[in-house]
Amino acid sequence: MKRMNIVWGILLIGIGVITLMQTMGVIAGGLGFVWAFVFVAVGATFLWTFITDRSRWWALIPAFVLLSLAATAFLEGALPETSGRWTGAVFMGGLSLSFWAVYLVRRDYWWAI
């Protein structure tokens, strides 16, 4: 268990360093598709967590949020001229979809809508 904590710590520090380098201009563009892939991988992991155990309804919220972030990162990379018009709507739609999914899975959790 302790070894996995070290791996996760190193992974998070690495992602932070890459993000900082991209923000400071050391790494020039082209990382939109990489971030889209990372968000899809992590979002799919949360979705798989819910699929394997339906009692873990909470995993739907980060799953849909991360998948919508992946869609916005993909739009930024694939269609840069139109991405400014659609990225906000795509992200907010994914955020909304996450809470609707929680409500559809657990009808007694009416707070989700």
Residue 38 and residue 20 share a domain: no
Tell me which residue range forms the domain holding 38. 31-112
In this prediction, residue 44 carries a pLDDT of 92
Q: How far apart are CA 26 and CA 33, in angstroms?
A: 18
3-state secondary structure of 82: coil
Predicted local distance difference test score (pLDDT) of residue 30: 64
Rounded to 5 degrees, what are φ and ψ at 25?
Answer: 90, 5
Reported as a pLDDT band with limits 50, 70 and 90, residue 47 is very high
Is 22 in the same domain as 37? no
Report how many domains make up the chain.
2
Helix (H, G, I), strand (E, B), or coil: what is residue 86? helix
Q: What does the pLDDT look like over 51-90, one tens digit per residue?
A: 999 999 999 999 999 999 999 888 887 777 776 788 889 8
pTM, to two decimals: 0.75
Instruction: Kindly state whether residues 103 and 51 are assigned to the same domain.
Output: yes
pLDDT single digits (tens) 22-44: 788 777 666 777 788 888 998 99
> Do residues 22 and 41 both lie within one domain?
no
Q: Are residues 83 and 63 in the same domain?
A: yes
The reply to whether 24 and 48 lie within a common domain is no
Burial (CB < 10 A; 0-12, 13-18, 19+), residue 88, is exposed
